[in-house]
Amino acid sequence: MCGIVGIVGKTPVAQSLYDGLTVIQHRGQDAAGIMTIDQNMFNLRKANGLVRDVFHTRHMKRLSGNMGIGHVRYPTAGTSSSAEAQPFYVNSPFGIAFAHNGNLTNAHDLQEEVFRIARRHINTTSDSELLLNILAHELQQVAGLSVTAEHIFEVVTKVHKKIRGAYAVVAAIIGQGIVAFRDPHGIRPLALGKRMTELGEEWMVASESVALDAVGFQFIRDVSPGEAVYITENGELHTRQCAENPITSPCIFEFVYFARPDSFIDGISVYASRVNMGRRLGEKIAREWSDLDIDVVIPIPETSMDVALQIANTLELPYRQGFVKNRYIGRTFIMPGQTMRKKSVRRKLNAISSEFKGKNVLLVDDSIVRGTTSGQIIEMARESGAKKVYFASAAPEIRFPNVYGIDMPSANELIAYGREIDQIADLIQADGLIFQDITDLVEAVREENDSIQRFETSVFDGNYITGDVDQDYLERIDISRGEKSREAPILQAELSNLDMHNIDSND
Ligand SMILES: O=P(O)(O)OC[C@H]1O[C@H](OP(=O)(O)OP(=O)(O)O)[C@H](O)[C@@H]1O
Ligand SMILES: NC(=O)CC[C@H](N)C(=O)O
Ligand SMILES: [Mg+2]
């Protein structure tokens, strides 16, 4: 679920890009990068790691210039190699730096086309490098010695026709400006903001509005699904709808888990949607478990806290913090590899025994995906002396792989795949287990903006809105990206031999 930022400023932008990336760090913990443009030169720093570890003072000094883009990566295609960290770069036409959040579903077909039609070489297995080369090829076809807004809109229109899947993109074209666009379904989010300075207007795009807040940009609006935004290096804004049939269908998992609660996506407060999820799930618990003897509601930090508090309010039960989160450990779900995810749960969360001893507890999480967290947390609650442990999930059962930028390529890894609720409860050792209904989840989010008719809900119902995902496709990604394929260390080592950058991004 990577995060992207881009700024066209009047003064150096590196610090704002850095600060913007730190507040969307929750979208990707594997790699980070910033590319700026100064006097007709790109400056790049990217590497594996968190934002605070990748950029040191010496890198920040090198990232001069008033225009630039940044990325935090959560790999959902290709490998975790630093060669696939973003931004990516191509030298023609003009020189383009590029960052992408999402996942293409027709990357396989495009790969061949890029070589056959454009004679372009892709040096990684990243779908984002592919997308950059398609964009570059189309720009090459239309632009002369400079780029106009018309060129950009023509190019994005063509790109929409060629590629399928989820993409929110920002690209900086040297000597010209920054272009940003969102796929015609608007699966991944993208917000536009403005900052007034004495020297004039500065513009920023970012995956989440919270990144704009953090660096003093005022949220203007979401980039519409299918729309392209072009900001010239002088700060003129041009926008146009470039998709023939845009249908707003944002990914519902952004609201369940990915986005920060203080962000607004497509006019919806992520926080308010989570409170609604809590209310609706609380009502379901009251309806279906009226005879249950719950003493206390306890959240599983961090994302479920807003939901759990509302469940407690709805059920008129006490809400207590039974687990303490180690603030130096990030999100476990977006870590690569099941071994690392499993180990991290206990390092990340520790129980306060007194909150469990002799009590019947209702544990609340935003979602149960592989069951890594819930299984271990229930064990911890019992070790701490809980009498009974009930479990509630603010999202419905996740039974289908994700192909749009969440790393769940294989149904077999999902604990709810092929299982009924009581079988899942047995596996995680819960005394009772309840999931939100899909209609309630959708309505909880829609309550905040009922003009949105549809959400991307494939992980719950197997309905892939881009219309190009069939069983064959799912089997292919299962083989290429499933847990087994990632356990092949040779592949990783071989690929890191190809860590080549034509701009210095190292120390
Ligand atoms: O069933 P699983 O495969 O364990 O996945 C679901 C869990 O992973 C996420 O937490 P995470 O630790 O990533 O982040 P958080 O601190 O934001 O809750 C999510 O909030 C659930 O707790
Ligand atoms: N989660 C994402 O947005 C990832 C972007 C891209 N598919 C990558 O793997 O680098
Ligand atoms: Mg969690």
The pLDDT tens digits of the residues spanning 171-196 come to: 999 999 999 999 999 999 999 999 99
Distance 197 CA to ligand 2 centre (A): 34
Ligand 3 (single-atom ion) residues, CB below 5 Å:
303
Residues 6+ apart with CB under 8 A from 470: none
Kindly state the tokens that stand for 267: 């006019």
As for ligand 1, residues whose beta carbon falls within 6 Å of it are 257, 300-303, 331-334, 365-374
Cα–Cα distance, 73 to 126 (Å, whole number): 12
pTM assigned to the model = 0.95
Query: Ligand 2: which atom is nearest the Cα of residue 27?
Result: 1
Q: Partners of 142 in the beta sheet?
A: none
The pLDDT tens digits of the residues spanning 26-71 come to: 999 999 999 999 999 999 999 999 999 999 999 999 999 999 999 9
Instruction: Give the other-Cβ count within 10 Å of 474's Cβ.
Output: 18
Q: Hey, which residues are catalytic here? A: 2
Q: Which CATH number fits domain 1-246: 3.60.20.10, 3.40.50.720, 3.30.1370.10, 3.30.70.1290?
A: 3.60.20.10
Cα–Cα distance list, 59 to 43, 108, 500, 501 (Å): 9, 35, 18, 16
Q: Of 305, 332, 412, 483, which is best to mutate to test ligand 1, by the most ligand atoms within 8 angstroms of its C-beta?
A: 332
pLDDT-derived band at 501, boundaries 50, 70, 90: low
- Mean pLDDT for the stretch of residues 240-249: 97
Burial of 196 (0-12, 13-18, 19+ CB in 10 A): exposed
Q: What is the pLDDT of residue 343?
A: 84
As for ligand 2, residues whose beta carbon falls within 6 Å of it are 1-2, 73-78, 84, 100-103, 126-128, 405
List the residue whose alpha carbon is closest to atom 10 of ligand 2.
75
Q: What is the pLDDT of residue 347?
A: 87
Between 249 and 343, whose confidence is greater? 249
Q: Is residue 373 part of an annotated ligand binding site? A: no
Distance 127 CA to ligand 2 centre (A): 8
pLDDT-derived band at 333, boundaries 50, 70, 90: confident
Work out the angle between the directed axes of helices 338-348 and 372-383 (0-180°, nearest 10).
Answer: 30
Per DSSP bridges, beta strands 165-173 and 177-182 are: antiparallel
Instruction: Give residue limits of the domains in the chain.
Output: 1-246, 268-325+343-452
Work out the angle between the directed axes of helices 372-383 and 421-428 (0-180°, nearest 10).
Answer: 50
268-325+343-452 is a CATH 3.40.50.2020 domain:
yes
End-to-end CA, the chain: 27
Per DSSP bridges, beta strands 88-90 and 96-104 are: antiparallel
Query: Ligand 2: which atom is nearest the Cα of residue 104?
Result: 7
Distance 261 CA to ligand 1 centre (A): 15
Q: Is residue 365 part of an annotated ligand binding site? A: yes
Ligand nearest to the CA of 3: 2
Q: What is the pLDDT of residue 187?
A: 98
Cα–Cα distance list, 280 to 275, 364, 393 (Å): 9, 13, 12
Cα–Cα distance, 306 to 261 (Å, whole number): 9
Residues 6+ apart with CB under 8 A from 481: 77, 407, 409, 410
Distance 75 CA to ligand 3 centre (A): 19
